[in-house]
């Protein structure tokens, strides 16, 4: 059997973090088994569904690296097929026309405090009035329905609690609960992995599967995500769209790793690659308790992924970050310098803004303007030392070994250590007190640019 999973968002807003995790779980399960991961846009709510929201969802999935098979399916465009199934159930006697009014339904529920029992369930066509009607499925009235869930375990529902669900509204349009089942069947979905807020829907949807004689997919209802305080996730916890996390500068690999760990585990492993996640991911590893979103843990994992990333791939993602945030693209010169500097820039940077901050010496133009803290390192004594150091640098071979030898020899001649030279050099080269290694900066900037920056501050004083 080929595993087929699907992600089925409603295009009424951005791809929120809970939806992104659901998509990831479906993607991992399918990809790890050589199966298919399908995408369905559940756009039947025409008042709230927008093309912009659909585009935002597709962009969010693309940024996360969750590729899908085939073209996305529009649920709205399949309305005729959904209605066709309802008519088939009607023709087979497994559904019926209900002529009860909303007032009658409300009165029944108020009087009996039970699910609505339609008086039209067993009426014949000859007894039908010429008035609007809905089509309802005939729910089982005795016994139990068991949802065999791979995460929640067996969930048993007394059939007396189920009403005869509406399949077609009085205007002939199909309801969402029918559309989901028909679409999943027609798309060949074998595993329905979704949030546990859909668990209550499973029993009603299973009625349609049983009535049509279709195989029921493997159910897997995953707990929702809460904030670090245990409360329902909201914007103050980080319930933002996937595009916002890209704009905050998190690498996609770090985001995938973190989302995978939200509610799923593989032993004590925290940091892992995509290949490992695809190999390890299984429904057995999903817990029943709500996962807790923790921005600090996301930052920690993101930093690990930045450090472990291929330099060229990291540069491409950095370019995409600049584009997503509306920042100017790097010049070719900056690009070349970033490529050379990437091995040390990516160390201990948790996000792309932090990486860019470490690369400020590359991105800054002459004359460098020292910030308040680094300017203090350019006092009269330090400037004098830099002035004396400059001739030694002008004749040095521009490689790390020779530069270190020149610096150490000069420091020794001054009766000090290299550490005393580092602060004014940082100020001159980058205009900051916290920078990458002085030697790393000088090698990336090159002889001419490094000396020019040092001479700028020496001559300026």
Instruction: Give the phi and the psi of residue 420 in degrees, each rounded to 5.
Output: -70, -25
CATH class of 77-222: alpha beta
Peptide bond into 233 cis (omega under 30): no
Q: What dihedral do alpha carbons 108, 113, 114, 115 form, nearest 10°?
A: 60
Measured in Å, how far apart are the chain's first and last C-alpha atoms? 77
**pLDDT value at residue 235:** 61
| Residue 372 CB neighbours (<10 A) | 7
198 burial (CB, 10 Å; 0-12 / 13-18 / 19+) is middle
Question: Are the C-beta atoms of 83 and 174 separated by less than 8 Å?
Answer: yes
Q: Which residues of the chain have pLDDT under 70?
A: 234-239, 460-461
Q: How far is CA 210 from CA 78, 80, 201, 289, in A?
A: 21, 21, 14, 30
pTM of model > 0.85: yes
Same fold, 77-222 and 372-460: no
Query: Domain residues of the chain, as ranges?
Result: 4-74+225-297, 77-222, 309-363, 372-460
Question: What tens digit of pLDDT does each residue of 346-376 get?
Answer: 999 999 999 999 999 999 999 999 999 999 9
d(C-alpha 128, C-alpha 111), whole Å? 25
Pairing of strands 191-195, 218-222: parallel
**pLDDT value at residue 256:** 98
d(C-alpha 128, C-alpha 97), whole Å? 8
**pLDDT value at residue 232:** 75
d(C-alpha 403, C-alpha 441), whole Å? 12
404 burial (CB, 10 Å; 0-12 / 13-18 / 19+) is middle
d(C-alpha 37, C-alpha 64), whole Å? 14
- 113 annotated ligand binder: no
Active site residues: 235
What secondary structure does DSSP assign to 78-100, as a single string?
GHHHHHHHHHHHHHTTSEEEE--
Give me Rg for the CA atoms of the chain: 32
Question: What tens digit of pLDDT does each residue of 191-210 get?
Answer: 999 999 999 999 999 999 99
Question: Are the C-beta atoms of 315 and 342 separated by less than 8 Å?
Answer: yes
Domain 4-74+225-297: give its CATH code: 3.40.50.620
Instruction: Give the phi and the psi of residue 66 in degrees, each rounded to 5.
Output: -95, 90
Specify the fold of 372-460.
Arc Repressor Mutant, subunit A (1.10.10)
Smallest CA-to-CA distance from 436 within 340, 365, 366 is with: 340
415 burial (CB, 10 Å; 0-12 / 13-18 / 19+) is exposed
- Give the CA angle between residues 237, 238, 243 to the nearest 5°: 170
d(C-alpha 45, C-alpha 201), whole Å? 18
């Amino acid at each position: 059997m080929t595993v087929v999973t699907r992600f089925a968002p409603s295009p009424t807003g951005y791809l929120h973090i809970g939806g992104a995790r659901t998509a990831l779980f479906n993607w991992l399960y399918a990809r790890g088994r050589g199966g298919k991961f399908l995408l369905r846009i559940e756009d039947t709510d025409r008042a709230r569904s927008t093309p912009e929201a659909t585009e935002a969802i597709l962009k969010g999935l693309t940024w996360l690296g969750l590729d899908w098979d085939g073209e996305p399916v529009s649920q709205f465009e399949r309305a005729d097929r959904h209605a066709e199934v309802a008519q088939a159930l009607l023709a087979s006697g497994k559904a019926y026309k209900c002529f009860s009014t909303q007032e009658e339904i409300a009165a029944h529920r108020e009087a009996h405090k039970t699910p609505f029992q339609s008086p039209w369930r067993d009426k014949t066509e000859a007894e039908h009035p010429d008035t609007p009607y809905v089509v309802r499925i005939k729910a089982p009235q005795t016994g139990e329905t068991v949802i065999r869930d791979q995460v929640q375990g067996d969930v048993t529902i007394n059939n007396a609690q189920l009403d005869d669900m509406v399949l077609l509204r009085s205007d002939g349009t199909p309801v969402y609960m029918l559309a989901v089942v028909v679409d999943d069947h027609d798309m060949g979905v074998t595993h329905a992995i979704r949030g546990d807020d859909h668990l209550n829907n499973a029993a009603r949807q299973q009625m349609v599967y049983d009535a049509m004689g279709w195989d029921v997919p493997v159910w897997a209802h995953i707990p929702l995500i809460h904030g670090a305080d245990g409360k329902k996730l909201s914007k103050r916890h980080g319930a933002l769209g996937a595009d916002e996390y890209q704009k905050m500068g998190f690498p996609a690999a770090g985001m995938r790793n973190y989302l995978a760990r939200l509610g799923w585990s593989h032993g004590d492993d925290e940091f892992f690659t995509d290949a490992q996640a695809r190999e390890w991911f299984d429904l057995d590893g999903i817990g029943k308790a709500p996962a807790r979103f923790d921005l600090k843990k996301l930052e920690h994992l993101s930093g690990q992924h930045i450090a472990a990333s291929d330099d060229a791939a990291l540069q491409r993602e950095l370019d995409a970050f600049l584009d997503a945030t509306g920042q100017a693209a790097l010049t070719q010169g900056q690009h070349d310098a970033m490529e050379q500097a990437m091995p040390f820039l990516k160390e201990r940077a948790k996000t792309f803004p932090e990486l860019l901050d470490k690369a400020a010496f590359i991105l800054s133009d002459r004359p460098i303007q020292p910030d308040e803290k680094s300017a203090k390192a350019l006092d009269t004594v330090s400037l004098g030392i830099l002035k004396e150091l400059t001739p030694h640098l002008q004749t040095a071979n521009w490689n790390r070994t020779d530069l270190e030898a020149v610096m150490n020899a000069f420091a020794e001649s001054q009766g000090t250590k290299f550490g005393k030279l580092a602060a004014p050099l940082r100020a001159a080269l980058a205009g900051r007190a916290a920078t990458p290694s002085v030697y790393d900066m000088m090698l990336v900037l090159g002889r001419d640019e490094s000396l020019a920056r040092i001479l700028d501050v020496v001559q300026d004083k």
